[in-house]
Amino acid sequence: MEEAFTLWGIQPQRQIEVADVETVGAMVQAGLGVGFITRTVYNKRSDWDLHGIQMEAPNPVWRSFVAVPKSRQRSPVLLRFLQILALVN
Task: Show me where the domains of the chain are located.
Answer: 2-62
User: What pLDDT, in 10s, does the model give residues 57-82?
Assistant: 666 677 777 778 888 888 888 888 88
CB-based contacts of 58, cutoff 8 Å, min separation 6: 4
Cis ω before 58 (30° cut-off from 0):
yes
Q: What is the per-residue pLDDT for 22?
A: 92
**Residue from 5, 11, 46, 4 nearest 25 by CA:** 46
Neighbouring CB atoms inside 10 A of 24's CB total 23
Q: What is the per-residue pLDDT for 82?
A: 83
CA distance 84 to 72: 19
Q: What is the per-residue pLDDT for 72?
A: 83
% of the chain residues with pLDDT over 70 = 92
